[in-house]
Structure formats: C-alpha cells, structure tokens
Structure 1
Amino acid sequence: MQWKILLGIIIQLLTTSLAESDLDFEEDMLEDPIEELSITSTEIPIASSTIGPTITTKDYCHCDMEVYGLSDLNGVLKSPNFPGAHCDSGKCIYKVLPHPNMTLRLNIQTAEMSSGTTLKFWSIFNIDDKEYSLYHSEYYSLRGYHSEFFQKYEQFTTPKNVGFKVVLEMQKNTYAFSGFKMSFDRLINETSNHLCDRTHVIIGNESTIVTASKPFALASGCMFLLSPSSDGIKNKQEEMFIEIETESPTYVAIRSYDYEGLFSRDDYFDSNRTKLVDASKVEVIFRRDSSYTDSFPSPKITARLMTKDCACPEKRMNLTGHMSSVIIRSPGFPNLYCPGKHCRILINSEKNEKRMKKDRLHPVLMILSNCSLNEYDSLKLGSMESGRLIFRTEEKNMMPTKFLRPIIIDQQTLGVSYRATGISQMRYFEMNITKLEIPEECVCSMFNDKEYQNSGWLSVVIPKNCSTIHCHWKFSTDRKIPPQYMTIEFIMDKPSLKDIVYILTNTLTEEYDSELLSTKRSIASATSPIEFTFSRFTYLADSDAVLNISWKIVEACECSQEKVYVKVDQPSVLTSPNYPEVYCPNLVCRHTFYAPKGHYLEVQISDADIEKYHDFLKIYDGNSTIDPIITRISGQENYVTINSTSNILFFLFMTDESNGNKGYHANVYARPMTIDHTLGETHWIVLICVAFLTVPMIAGVIYFVIRKKENHRQLESLHNPTISYSSSEAGSSINIAFGSSNNGNNNERCNELYG
C-alpha cells in the first residue's frame, strides 16, 4: 500500500514540474517584445509628482526599469535577484532624475559580475527639454571571475540639476556572481570637496572657466558638456581652444564630435596641454586612478571659441631663453581639409656659447613629428646652415596619431617647407621643436652624423647620470649588383625603464622597450638602409648601461635549385638559404621534388626555426600551390615527418624583411609504395576501426552459441544423470557425472570438480 502512495506522489510531482516548465516558456515568449520596448524607449520625461520608483518596462530577466523622481531623496538600486546570482541575460536601466536644487551622491556598495556583464554609468540632464546623457565609465569582468576593469570607483557625484543613469547588461552567469547593490542620496548642502562645477558650460569667444583648481575628494571626478554660444555659431567660430593644467595621476579626457554629431576623436592628458577641436560638441571629464583615496587638486580647464581658417603658420619663429619650444601645425589645424597650401617657416635658435662652454653643456634641438598626409603631399625639415635635409615625408603615407621617433640634432637654424596638393583629403601635421642643454658626456651620435657601410661592431656605455641621451646610426650597403643586404644584431645590458630603440627602414617601423632590449635582436634589410635610434628622455637610471651593436654585409641569399629528382636510397637535403645562419629577408623559394614512379616522398624535418606569423614554409601534395597543402610551419618545430600521396611534392618558403631566424633543415626520401599508398593513413584507420567492431561481434556470437549449447547439455544432465560429457565434446577438461547418493562417491566427484 505504501509503495502505491509513493508512486502517486512521484507522478503528481512530475506532472507539476512539466506544467511549470510550459508556463515559463510561455512567459519567455511574451516577454521578448517587452524587452525590445525597454531598449528603444529610454526617454523618460521629468515629472515632479513621481513618487517612488516608476516601473515602465520589463525585460527577459524580470528586470524592472526604475525611475526615481524628485521626491525620492534617497534609494537603493540592486541587480535582479540580489544577493542571489544575477541573470544570464537581460538589460536593466535605472534612472535617478535631476533635481534643480539638490546635488546627487551615488555610493557603490558591491559589484560582482560574470564575464561579459557590464555596468555603465551616465550623467543625465536636460537641454531645451530634452534629456542628454553624458557617458562616464563602466565596470565589466574578465575571464569568468570578479575583475572589474577600467576603474573600481566607489562613489560618484553630480552638481545640481544633474542625475544618473545606470545600465546593466547581463551575460551568462556561470560562477553565480551576485551583481550589484548601490544607494543614492540627494543633498542640499554638498561639501565643497565633493561638489562639481556646472555640467553644461556655454563657451564664447572669451576664455571661459570650465572648472577651477580646488581640493577634490572623489577619484571618479566630474564631467562637462561644452557647447558653442549662439553668437559663436552666428559668427562661424567653429573651433574650440581648450587649455588644461593638470598633473599625473589626474588626467583629463576630451571627446569631440563634428557638426553632424558623429564622434571625431578621444584624447587623454596627464600634463599641461592645449587642444584645438571642433566646437560642435565637446565632452570633458577629469578623474584619477581609483587606487588613490586622498584628496587631490582638480585640474584647471578653460576654453574659448576660434575661427577656422586655412592660413599658414607664422613665417618666422624664434627659440630663445624664454621660449624653449615651438609648435608648427598644418594650415587650419586640426581642420583636415585644407588643399593647395604652400607654407615656409624659418626657426631661429638663440645661442649662448660662452655659458655653454663654461658649464660644459651642449645645445641640441629635439624634433617630434606627427602627421597624416596624402602620398603626394610634401613636408620637409632642413638645415639652413648646411643645406642638409633632415626630415621628409614626401611620397609616404604616415600613420595618423602616431608620433615618429625623436630626432636630435645640433642647435642650428631650421627651415620647414609644407606643400599640399589640390586634392580635398584628410591631412594634417604637427611638429614640436624643443631646445635642450645636455651635459657633454651625454652627447652621443647626432641624427645622420654616422653611417656605416662595412661590417663592424659598437659597444656604447650609457652613463647613469645621463637623464637625456639620444644616439642615431645608419647602416647601409650601396652595392646593388650583385645584390647585398645589411643585417644588424643588438642587445643592451642593464637597460633603464624608459630606454627605447627605434628601427626604421622604407617598409619597417619597430620599437623595442627595456624588456625587449634585454634579449638579442636581429634585423635585416635588403631594400633600404637601417636607421637605428636609441632614446632616453628625462629619466635617471640606477646604473650604467651598455648598448652592443654588430652589423655585417651579406651577399643576398639565392634559393637552391627549383627541381630535384630524388633517387631511391639517396635522400636529398634541403635547407633554407644561409642555414644554419640567419636566413635572408624578402625570400620566395620554390622547390619541386620528384620520386620515381611507384614511389612516394617522405620528408623528415629535423630542425625548423622560422619567425612565427611572418615567415613560413608550406609543403603541398603536388607540383604547385593549387594542390592540397600537407603542412604549414611557422615557428619552432623539430622532427616533423610527412608523406606524399603521389611521387611529387612542392615546397614554398617565404620571408618578410625583418627578424630572420635560423631557418630549417630537411631530408627528402623516395619510398616504394608497398601498399595502395594513396589511401595514406586513412586506409589503416579504417582497417583498425573495422577490426575493433567485427572482432567483439564475432566473439559475442561464439560465446552465445557455446553458452546455449552448454545450457542444453546441463539441462539434459538434470533429466538423465548418467550422461557424461568428455572434453572432446564440451571443450572442458572436467568430466561431470551424477550417480547414486553415496557420500563417498559424492566426495570423490567434488574433488574432481574443485580439486
């Protein structure tokens, strides 16, 4: 009776579970369109009569969109199911609307989210009765564990008439993270070190203070929207000039947009800088790393409007004791569409040779350039004293927003020539020329002062007291027939943290920091000289460092014969050019191997050291690259064996212009096809699989037949105990018989059975 009751309970539970799962599925289907509505409908009008969180929409995760109105002076925001695990998907939106007379403080109590889940923060305020959102930052976790990226700020603050929007987008919660919990408070009298200046700032043609320098307590900082004044728009003052005074670790971010509202660029500064941007819409934020908890001086930021034009820079600039650097920019900078301009600028440099000699100082000029030009635009920098060309970008398309290597030259008068074609295309340049005075013992090889065209080596001691030192060498070969290439190797002993080496050729630009300089590096060039620049700027090291460079000229590599006929029992050897030395750059080697008919080719690669990702060896099962590829080797591999399916193999070895490695060594054998070799390894795999399947089946059939026969005999023995089966019949060495009930006989038979 009890088991019947238990069975009834189990059936009832199963029925209830299935019904609930069907109901959940129906709810999910109904909630999908609601989720779309919550994503697209984000503009919520401010209503002073709002009491408590206003629920507007619901998404997949049962996440209510919460809007806290003016009467909500404090509240708590939580992720769905908190403190339980947040959901696997869904988007939740929380809004605390602006109050015209109160500031807002947001306190994050906990935030633990799964990988891919993001928590974004926005400031919200009204402009002409429309809500404007100003993005601040976000939390998100990586690699499936709690690791908020960007900044782990614990508090945010806003000025009066500014609110907050928090957006939670959830992903699969494998490790059951609990989500977030935070609270907000509205304050009438916010303390001064927590109070941000007004968020929306109107900028005119006079310098306007965006924020003044003052003690500030929250690392999350403050945000500002800069808009041009109506007079500025009327007068076509389309650019905004921003001045920033700050110092690390406090930094300022500037996001600018064009007149169509499209994002233009994002810049970060942690030192005093000026910036010229499109005035249509500019967002500014200052903050510092969240690891700093003490108060800090907020930056001073001012801005004013300017008129955009395509005028050339000043024709003459002077470097004096009071003006140690000048900045030269393209016409209309940062307007990127000023075609057909031709500008010439002269830069004079004031010298004080007596004082330099007395103080054992050496005057130099440091040049930093940043440009993105049309391939037919021309930017040249030259010496007006020697007539030597120092810098040129003609017929080169430079990468935008990337500073080129620093150039150090003796102090002299310079000339800049810029010529833009009539093509209306994005272009700009910016050149910073700074006068420096460095100790004589810190003077190294100046730019283009030393050029080496033969083999040799250098060992240069970099003194620890040289906070600024630059060295430049050029390595080249001028012999074209027969062709040659230049290869250099370099390594640095005890490099300092800020040491950098720049390597440039016509097709190569590489940078090596202190970590990379600690291991030996190799560069080769066959098409242009190698320019080598060592740079240390404003950094005192703990000890002297030594830079070792060796270089040599090598005859350009030639690939071995292209067609090789492999004889039986006489393997052919194939190596990369110059093996085991470094192989040459710019190689394209093709080799076709033929075995006699009835034979296939076996390749044994005993050593392969090929630059990973850039150089490679490919082997094809045929006589060209359109045949199936057998293997591709790029990196380090040893003892690789491959076989062809016919009597032909094709090798292709290709290298780029830099970082040659040792190469490869291979033996190629002709092997007879003793079986149908065209099946290859697949033939044996199929045979093994068939054997594994058929042998157990056959064994099972035999076992079943024997057991059935044996059971039949045992059944007959029970009915006729006098029957005895010999080993020849049953396959057993034991004779079994049943006689009378005599105990002695029974014991003897038991001995026969078990003994």
Structure 2
Amino acid sequence: MQWKILLGIIIQLLTTSLAESDLDFEEDMLEDPIEELSITSTEIPIASSTIGPTITTKDYCHCDMEVYGLSDLNGVLKSPNFPGAHCDSGKCIYKVLPHPNMTLRLNIQTAEMSSGTTLKFWSIFNIDDKEYSLYHSDLRGYHSEFFQKYEQFTTPKNVGFKVVLEMQKNTYAFSGFKMSFDRLINETSNHLCDRTHVIIGNESTIVTASKPFALASGCMFLLSPSSDGIKNKQEEMFIEIETESPTYVAIRSYDYEGLFSRDDYFDSNRTKLVDASKVEVIFRRDSSYTDSFPSPKITARLMTKDCACPEKRMNLTGHMSSVIIRSPGFPNLYCPGKHCRILINSEKNEKRMKKDRLHPVLMILSNCSLNEYDSLKLGSMESGRLIFRTEEKNMMPTKFLRPIIIDQQTLGVSYRATGISQMRYFEMNITKLEIPEECVCSMFNDKEYQNSGWLSVVIPKNCSTIHCHWKFSTDRKIPPQYMTIEFIMDKPSLKDIVYILTNTLTEEYDSELLSTKRSIASATSPIEFTFSRFTYLADSDAVLNISWKIVEACECSQEKVYVKVDQPSVLTSPNYPEVYCPNLVCRHTFYAPKGHYLEVQISDADIEKYHDFLKIYDGNSTIDPIITRISGQENYVTINSTSNILFFLFMTDESNGNKGYHANVYARPMTIDHTLGETHWIVLICVAFLTVPMIAGVIYFVIRKKENHRQLESLHNPTISYSSSEAGSSINIAFGSSNNGNNNERCNELYG
C-alpha cells in the first residue's frame, strides 16, 4: 500500500515538472522577439547609448527609452513591433544627445498611426549642466502622406532631439513609424539653423537673419535675459519680426514662475512685448508651399517695464488742476499689445461757482500719432457719451486734436494698442478751468446743425478764455448733398484760432487769416468748427460770423462738345457762379469742324490756389501738350488750339472757397498764321532738313552725268596742239571748246 502512495507522488511530481517546463518554453518563445530587439539596440557601445527602464509591456510591446550618445553618428528609430501594428497604449521615448561639433538631421521615412496616437518632437540642449527641452511640434494619427510637410528636422551644433511616442487604440493595425538620424560636420547653409540658445541684452540682438531655408520644420530658439539685464531689472523683452508668407513665426512666452503665458503666430511684420523670463521662438513654412523659403529676420532686446499703463485713477483737485495721461513708454517707445483704462475724477464746488458766477469746465488737449488699428477713446462716465475716439485712418502722422471744452464731469480713457511694428504714441492733458458765465460758449458736441443757417457770435473782450464748438452736417445720401460753410471774423485778437476738422481735412486759421472770408465744403463727413481763445485779453469785442448751407451735389456737364461755327459753346464750373463742389473731377473734350481751330476766352476764373485747378490740353487727353494751368484768380485769358480738339480737366479737393470759372469756346477758320503755329514750324524745319540734302543730291547727280557725257564727246573729236621751245617741247590736248561753252551755260542756268 505504501509503495502505491509513493508511486503516485512521484508521478504527480513528474507531471508538474513537465507542465512548468512547457510554460517556461512558451514564455521564452514569446520573449525571443523582444530579446532580439534588445540585442540589436545594445550593439551600440554602452559608453554612448543606454537602454532605460521599460515604460510599458503589453501585447508584445516592450517600449524602452532609447538613448543615442556622441559616438552614434547615425541610427534608426522605430515604433515597437514595427513594421507590425503598433500597440494600443504605451509611451516610448527616444533621445539623440547633442554633439558639440556636429549638427543633427532627423528624417521621417514612414509614419502610419492610429487616431489619437501622437509623435512629439523636442530639441534638447544643456544650460548650466541641466538638460532643457524645447518643444517643436507633434504629429497626430494620420497616414504618412500627411507627414510630408515635416519629413525632416534639423538642429545646430550642440543640440539634440527627443521624440516621444504616445500610443492609443490601434483598431486598423497601423504600423507606427520609422525614422533615421545623421550627424553632420558640414551642414549646408539652407539647412543650418542659427544657435538655439540666444542671450538677450539691452542692445538689439539678432536671433536669426533672413536667408533661404529648405526644411519646412524650420528652426527653434530659446531667448534668455542676460545676467546684466536681470541685475538691472529689465523684465520685458521687445521682439521685432520681419517676415512674410509663406514663413510664419510663433512666440511662446512664460511668466517669472515658468508658467505658460501665451502663444502668438505671425506671418507679417510684427513687434511683440513679452515677459523676459523665458521666451521660445520658432519659425516654420506654410504647408501649402513646397519650395525653399526665406527665413525671417528676428531681433530682440531687453527693456525695463516702462511699458506699464498710467495710473488707473487720477484726481483733479484744488491743489492739482491738471493731469497728463501718456501712452505706455512715451515718448521713446510705442508699446504693442497694451490695453490701458484710466478714470479721471474732478472735485466740484458748486456753492462757490454759483456765488462767483463761474462755470467749471474741463479743457482737453491731445497730441497723438497712432496706428490705424489702435484705439483711443475718451468718454463721459456720467452720461455714457463718447466724447471722441481715433478713427481708422491711414497712419496719419502727428495728427493733432483741437482743444475740447466740456462741462466738468468724470471721464474715462481707454487705450488699446495692436502688435503692429510702428512707433506710435499719444499724450493727453486734462485741465480744470473756471470761466465766467458770460464766456461760456457752445460746449464740445453740444450743437449740430443739419440745415442752412447763420450765426453771429460776439466774443467779449474781457473773456481771456473762451471756446466754441459747432458741427455742421447733412444726413441725406439720395440725392447726394454736401455742406458748405463760410466764416469771417471782425476784429480778431492776436491769439484767436479756428480749427476745422473733417475725416480728410485738418486746417488751422490764425487771426490774420480770420480777417478774410473763408469757405469750407465737405461731401463725405461733418465739418467740425472750433473757435479758441486762451489766456489773452483783447482790446475790443470781436464778432465771428458763420453761414452754412446744404447744396445738392454737383455734376459735371457733358464730356463731349461739338462747337459750331459762329455759335460759341459756354463752359462753367459746376454750380457757377456759386461755390463749386468739393472732390470734383470734370473732363470735357471740345471738337471744331475740320479746317477750324478752337479759341477759348476765359472771362472769369476764381479757383482755390494751389489746391484746385483747371488744365487745358492741346489734344484729346492729358498726354497731349498742356496749353495752360489756372489756379487762383484770372481774368480775360485767351488761348488757341493748333488743331480742332481741346481737352479740359477741372479738379477740386475737399475744401474750397471759390466760385470757379466761366469760359466761351469758339470755332475759328484756320489761317496761315494759325496753321503755322509752333508745332507746324517744327514740322517744316524737319521737312527742310530732309528735303534740302535730297535736292542737293539730285543736282549733283545731274551735273556729274552731263559732265561725263561731255567728256565722252570730246574723246571722239580731240584737239591736239604742239609747241616747242629751247627748253623742250610740250603737248596740249583740248577736248571740244564748244562743249565747254554749252556746259558752262547749263551751269549758269542751274546756279544762275
């Protein structure tokens, strides 16, 4: 019995041993591929490459950190199980360490990954013996054809690469990726990035210069403040970018705690002001562009925080009657990307104002030169009314704003600057004034006139400070209308000034100009009229007279006019003898019958000098010779054409104050005097130069021909005579004396 029990135990032990042996064999079979991969990787010398700890092990997917050192001049990176399907999960890291004397090129050979799987690329380099990773981009779960735009990456010397693969569910068995790397001693210039780590000081530093570049993936840069900049508390970095499509630039900025702040992209010239603690810059090529592209020019410098906004609250008190608001960085720097809000409070003493018959006002003086997309607004915090704002103009430089007088109230200023690289600024002075009640005129934007009318405003001599503002406008578009105003001042004082503003016009009239009647017209925007006298006592009262009216928009008369003989045509400026319209371009062509020329008699011409003009051309367009140009006042001007066509061009600008011109056009029969005008004499001279040599040539040919004929006749009948002397003898041969006589007669006939 005991032996049976012992035999059973032995059999059981043998069965268990065989089962464990089979299991071990299966596990060994499963691990063979992984060991094979590990052996392949460990063929690289241990001194330069290491296999890190296993990050994930699932479904045949042992994913180890692969590190390639300085002696690895080339190599291959592959996803786990390549070319088989990549795993459903896991994270793999591949590092190619930086080489101090060699650049690095990474080539993506194939990439097929499941949706949700990402392949991330980083540049790695050392700063103070610590590894720094600079993120470039990531490629997400697409077929390899979508990777063509980033099929290669490059680094400068002493910069390596880190690639991170994060796998997600692989339903369709995508094979993953395969890429290779090569270290190069002499990289070609259109593949070579500038240094990655750039130290920025208070002087402008070139980050990268513009040059042809081949790889769409571009280059990356880390911008760090210099030690002197940190010491001097230069905490902001001003970056200037010069680029254009297809090259775009990304700027990633971080705050002083190292937290990501914002990411900006540009494909045109821009400036950017960011925290200087840590800034990353990368440029790439637009994926739709396939050829070499110009790399951008990027410069940077450190700045102190003089781009800070003004105080958020300012107070006008009895001790401080004026405040000045300036744009960030005024006056040396226009700070891009800033948004500032300022509240201005002012104290009121209504009891004293009423007792002394004074009126409290605020005077606002502004000087600004802003980009067309910048925004500067001034509004009332009490009524919510917008007092003024900058319009979207085309970079109007040093545009002044006239003095603005408003009732005392709480104001709000809002300033928003774009990131466009233009040097722009603003300065605003707000002053609290107390003026006598009899010196209170129309406040800013209190009065707007939209119908015809007139004003006669007495300016008292005891008013040392007085300001009046009116707006004249028309809101009718169909039929089109425009507003015209006329103004003149009787006995203006030395400091009296009138400001005229429209959307396209800024004019200023001093006391000398105000003594003469002036006229302004506007068809596109209201006319703002401001009279200003500040801290000046006059000798006598002055009177400001203003009249305004709405006029139907002018139309030019017919363009082609056929002038009949003895029936002159009349041509006048639109609206003559009233003031002509602004923004006119009138063209007229006059035709006389054949054999006639045109005579123009201008009996009256009153055209705004320098700005508006009438031109008359000797022909049918402006490319023909110009006969006269009239700008100013002319009387009884007469001109003639050299042919039967004349062309008139009449142009006016936004403002005008004149009645235009009146002309009669006659068709006159051409005479010798008119046919031999200047142009005709030039033609005759040219013809003479051509015909005289031809006639001389004909005469010479005739003479030579007859001379040759006469000589032939004499050869047939020669006359020979002999003479002798002591000295010897001579032979004289004469050829027909009668022929000589005939020839001389013909010469006499020709030259007679």
Q: TM-score, normalised by structure 2?
A: 0.52
Moved more, 437-446 or 204-213: 204-213
Superposed displacement of residue 332, structure 1: 2.4
CA 1:204–1:636 in structure 2 vs 1: closer, same or farther (change >3 Å)? Answer: same
Q: Is contact 2:346-2:410 (8 Å) kept?
A: yes
Moved more, 688-697 or 296-305: 296-305
Moved more, 595-604 or 244-253: 244-253
CA 1:526–1:55 in structure 2 vs 1: closer, same or farther (change >3 Å)? Answer: farther
Of the three residues 240, 263, 266, the one matched with 2:263 is: 266
Q: Secondary structure at the match of 1:707?
A: helix
- Residues of 2 paired with 1:179 and 1:465: CA distance? 90
Superposed displacement of residue 352, structure 1: 0.8
Superposed displacement of residue 235, structure 1: 1.8
CA 1:741–1:706 in structure 2 vs 1: closer, same or farther (change >3 Å)? Answer: closer
CA 1:708–1:503 in structure 2 vs 1: closer, same or farther (change >3 Å)? Answer: same
CA 1:722–1:630 in structure 2 vs 1: closer, same or farther (change >3 Å)? Answer: same
- Residues of 2 paired with 1:667 and 1:39: CA distance? 106
CA 1:518–1:12 in structure 2 vs 1: closer, same or farther (change >3 Å)? Answer: farther
Q: Is contact 2:616-2:646 (8 Å) kept?
A: yes
Superposed displacement of residue 653, structure 1: 0.5
**What is aligned with 1:168?**
165
Deviation digits for residues 441-493 of structure 1, max 9, x if unmatched? Answer: 00000000000111111111111111100000001111111111111111111
- Residues of 2 paired with 1:115 and 1:248: CA distance? 31
Which residues of 2 match residues 236-635 of structure 1 at below 5 A? 307-397=304-394, 399-401=396-398, 403-635=400-632
Q: Secondary structure at the match of 2:354?
A: helix
CA 1:638–1:53 in structure 2 vs 1: closer, same or farther (change >3 Å)? Answer: farther
CA 1:345–1:680 in structure 2 vs 1: closer, same or farther (change >3 Å)? Answer: same
CA 1:655–1:209 in structure 2 vs 1: closer, same or farther (change >3 Å)? Answer: closer
Which residues of 2 match residues 79-98 of structure 1 at below 5 A? none
Deviation digits for residues 523-579 of structure 1, max 9, x if unmatched? Answer: 111111100000001111111111111111111111111111110100001111111
Deviation digits for residues 210-247 of structure 1, max 9, x if unmatched? Answer: 99999999999999999999999962679999999999
Q: What 5-or-longer segments of structure 2 have no aligned partner? A: none
CA 1:207–1:328 in structure 2 vs 1: closer, same or farther (change >3 Å)? Answer: farther
- Residues of 1 paired with 2:19 and 2:557: CA distance? 76
Moved more, 619-628 or 560-569: 619-628
CA 1:691–1:645 in structure 2 vs 1: closer, same or farther (change >3 Å)? Answer: closer
Identity of aligned residues (%): 100
CA 1:145–1:295 in structure 2 vs 1: closer, same or farther (change >3 Å)? Answer: closer
Superposed displacement of residue 648, structure 1: 1.4
Structure 1 or 2, whichever has the larger Rg, is: 2
Q: Secondary structure at the match of 1:743?
A: helix
Deviation digits for residues 383-440 of structure 1, max 9, x if unmatched? Answer: 1111111111131356545542100000011111111112232121111111100000
Q: Is contact 2:55-2:90 (8 Å) kept?
A: no
Superposed displacement of residue 318, structure 1: 1.2
- Residues of 2 paired with 1:733 and 1:352: CA distance? 140
Q: Secondary structure at the match of 1:478?
A: coil
- Residues of 2 paired with 1:190 and 1:31: CA distance? 42
Deviation digits for residues 678-710 of structure 1, max 9, x if unmatched? Answer: 431466899999999999999999999999999
Deviation digits for residues 96-143 of structure 1, max 9, x if unmatched? Answer: 9999999999999999999999999999999999999999999xxx99
Superposed displacement of residue 153, structure 1: 71
Superposed displacement of residue 509, structure 1: 0.4
Say whether 1:66 aligns with 2:66.
yes
**What is aligned with 2:722?**
725
**What is aligned with 1:55?**
55
CA 1:144–1:261 in structure 2 vs 1: closer, same or farther (change >3 Å)? Answer: closer
CA 1:748–1:102 in structure 2 vs 1: closer, same or farther (change >3 Å)? Answer: closer
Q: Secondary structure at the match of 2:597?
A: strand
Deviation digits for residues 170-216 of structure 1, max 9, x if unmatched? Answer: 99999999999999999999999999999999999999999999999
CA 1:299–1:480 in structure 2 vs 1: closer, same or farther (change >3 Å)? Answer: closer
Q: How many residues align?
A: 752
CA 1:524–1:727 in structure 2 vs 1: closer, same or farther (change >3 Å)? Answer: farther
- Residues of 2 paired with 1:6 and 1:737: CA distance? 171
Moved more, 368-377 or 3-12: 3-12
Q: Is contact 1:336-1:426 (8 Å) kept?
A: yes
Q: What 5-or-longer segments of structure 1 have no aligned partner? A: none
Root-mean-square deviation (CA, aligned residues, Å) is: 26.9
Moved more, 272-281 or 437-446: 272-281
Q: Is contact 2:52-2:66 (8 Å) kept?
A: no
Q: Secondary structure at the match of 2:483?
A: strand
Superposed displacement of residue 675, structure 1: 3.2
Moved more, 257-266 or 285-294: 285-294
- Residues of 1 paired with 2:617 and 2:20: CA distance? 59
Superposed displacement of residue 311, structure 1: 1.4
- Residues of 1 paired with 2:519 and 2:114: CA distance? 44
Q: Is contact 1:31-1:58 (8 Å) kept?
A: no
Superposed displacement of residue 364, structure 1: 0.3
CA 1:705–1:642 in structure 2 vs 1: closer, same or farther (change >3 Å)? Answer: same
Q: Is contact 2:50-2:66 (8 Å) kept?
A: no
Q: Secondary structure at the match of 2:696?
A: helix
- Residues of 1 paired with 2:86 and 2:401: CA distance? 48
- Residues of 1 paired with 2:87 and 2:111: CA distance? 14
- Residues of 2 paired with 1:21 and 1:471: CA distance? 108
Q: Secondary structure at the match of 1:86?
A: coil
- Residues of 1 paired with 2:158 and 2:553: CA distance? 72
- Residues of 2 paired with 1:155 and 1:25: CA distance? 43
Q: Secondary structure at the match of 2:352?
A: helix
Superposed displacement of residue 628, structure 1: 2.0
CA 1:737–1:221 in structure 2 vs 1: closer, same or farther (change >3 Å)? Answer: same
Q: Is contact 1:567-1:595 (8 Å) kept?
A: yes
Moved more, 453-462 or 227-236: 227-236
Deviation digits for residues 641-669 of structure 1, max 9, x if unmatched? Answer: 22222211111100001123121111111
Superposed displacement of residue 725, structure 1: 50
Superposed displacement of residue 614, structure 1: 0.9
CA 1:54–1:327 in structure 2 vs 1: closer, same or farther (change >3 Å)? Answer: farther
Superposed displacement of residue 625, structure 1: 1.6
Superposed displacement of residue 748, structure 1: 51
- Residues of 1 paired with 2:575 and 2:344: CA distance? 50
Moved more, 651-660 or 359-368: 651-660
CA 1:231–1:374 in structure 2 vs 1: closer, same or farther (change >3 Å)? Answer: same
Superposed displacement of residue 744, structure 1: 56
Moved more, 170-179 or 495-504: 170-179
Superposed displacement of residue 737, structure 1: 50
Moved more, 496-505 or 745-754: 745-754
Moved more, 534-543 or 627-636: 627-636
Q: Is contact 1:494-1:543 (8 Å) kept?
A: yes
CA 1:522–1:754 in structure 2 vs 1: closer, same or farther (change >3 Å)? Answer: closer
Q: Is contact 1:491-1:549 (8 Å) kept?
A: yes
- Residues of 1 paired with 2:26 and 2:603: CA distance? 63
Q: Is contact 1:56-1:66 (8 Å) kept?
A: no
Superposed displacement of residue 636, structure 1: 1.6
CA 1:574–1:329 in structure 2 vs 1: closer, same or farther (change >3 Å)? Answer: same
CA 1:546–1:296 in structure 2 vs 1: closer, same or farther (change >3 Å)? Answer: farther
Deviation digits for residues 596-615 of structure 1, max 9, x if unmatched? Answer: 12211111111211111111
- Residues of 2 paired with 1:337 and 1:609: CA distance? 46
- Residues of 2 paired with 1:297 and 1:462: CA distance? 65
CA 1:91–1:214 in structure 2 vs 1: closer, same or farther (change >3 Å)? Answer: same
Q: Is contact 1:108-1:181 (8 Å) kept?
A: yes
Q: Is contact 1:336-1:425 (8 Å) kept?
A: no
CA 1:523–1:599 in structure 2 vs 1: closer, same or farther (change >3 Å)? Answer: same
Superposed displacement of residue 320, structure 1: 1.1
Q: Secondary structure at the match of 1:727?
A: strand
Superposed displacement of residue 309, structure 1: 2.5
CA 1:583–1:248 in structure 2 vs 1: closer, same or farther (change >3 Å)? Answer: same
- Residues of 2 paired with 1:84 and 1:590: CA distance? 79
- Residues of 1 paired with 2:135 and 2:443: CA distance? 47
Moved more, 371-380 or 300-309: 300-309
Superposed displacement of residue 326, structure 1: 1.0
